Structure 1
Amino acid sequence: MAPLRTSPPPPRAALLTRWVLSSPSELRALRASLHEALNGNDLIDGERLDHVPEMVVLVATELATNALRHGLPPTVVSLLAGDDCFVLDVADHDLSTVPELTDCQPAGSGGRGLQLAQALSLDVGWYTTDDVKHIWASFDR
């Protein structure tokens, strides 16, 4: 396992919206709301997302699931917009663990959220504040 690069998110990103999650049952609503925030309209059942929103929603779901499963509540998911990118920030309150990229887990066993974020985003990293751990990923706008 390798640690994820430590770095704050890109500068000049303005907060568009934020979600506070306390359980995995809230992930479906997060996905729908995130789609609306990125596209300006509701996601209809069975509708496919455009490329970038689809990647953002997938990475948000994976990182939020990790935070809910392994972090300390609440999990806070933020969508920010920079001049040329979206920034997804997922935060929890567990400062005792370091995000690690796993590469040797059996298929179907989970633990690939950070790998997925790294593969689908422009950049990914993590940082801490006094009481919060943040994992972020940036995407084309």
Structure 2
Amino acid sequence: MGQLRTSPPTPQATEIERWELTSGAELRTLRASLHKALTGEVLADGASLEDIPEAVVLVATELATNALVHGLPPTTVRLLRADDCFILDVADHDLTTIPELADTRPLGSGGRGLQLARAFSLDVGWYATEGTKHIWASFPRG
């Protein structure tokens, strides 16, 4: 299995919005709220997203699901803005595991969230603080 680089996102990034999740039932609200934070518009049911918001929402859903299933609650999802990019930062409280790319698993067996993050974002990394493990992904701004 591959490993991600260990570094926090750019320190110049400022937080736009934060969500605290305790169950998968909250993912739908996260997706709608995240879309609004990125575009200023509420996503109507059945509406399609533009490329960048769609990628951010997809990666947020995957990383938050991983944190909810494999981490310790609560899961914190933050949307940050830097000069040239958006940064998605997903944290949980399980410091006993290191994020690894599931590149050796068969398709359909799960564990592809980090691969999707790498495919749809500019950069992906992870870091730990005293009480949380963070996985982040950066995306171009518009």
Q: Indicate whether the TM-score tops 0.5.
A: yes
Structure 2 residue matching 1:29: 3-state secondary structure: helix
Q: CA deviation at 1:93?
A: 0.4
Q: Which residue of 2 aligns with 1:77?
A: 77
The residue type equivalent to 1:45 in the other structure is D
Distance across 1 between alignment mates of 2:3 and 2:83: 29
Q: CA deviation at 1:108?
A: 1.4
Q: CA deviation at 1:99?
A: 0.1
Structure 2 residue matching 1:45: 3-state secondary structure: coil
Distance across 2 between alignment mates of 1:78 and 1:85: 14
Runs (5+) with no aligned partner, structure 1: none
Superposition pairs of residues 29-68 of structure 1, within 5 angstroms: 29-68=29-68
Distance across 1 between alignment mates of 2:91 and 2:134: 4
Distance across 2 between alignment mates of 1:59 and 1:10: 19
Distance across 1 between alignment mates of 2:10 and 2:101: 21
Structure 2 residue matching 1:131: 3-state secondary structure: coil
Q: Which residue of 2 aligns with 1:89?
A: 89
Q: Which residue of 2 aligns with 1:117?
A: 117
Q: CA deviation at 1:11?
A: 2.4
Distance across 2 between alignment mates of 1:83 and 1:12: 8
Structure 2 residue matching 1:10: 3-state secondary structure: coil
User: What is the CA RMSD across the aligned residues, in angstroms?
Assistant: 0.6
Distance across 2 between alignment mates of 1:122 and 1:11: 17
Q: Which residue of 2 aligns with 1:132?
A: 132
Aligned residue pairs, count: 141
Identity %, equivalent residues: 70
Q: Which residue of 1 aligns with 2:104?
A: 104
Distance across 1 between alignment mates of 2:20 and 2:11: 23
Which deviations, in whole Å up to 9, do the C-alpha atoms of 1:93-112 show, x marking residues without a partner? 00000000011212211100
The residue type equivalent to 2:121 in the other structure is S
Q: Which residue of 2 aligns with 1:27?
A: 27
Structure 2 residue matching 1:56: 3-state secondary structure: helix
The residue type equivalent to 1:82 in the other structure is A
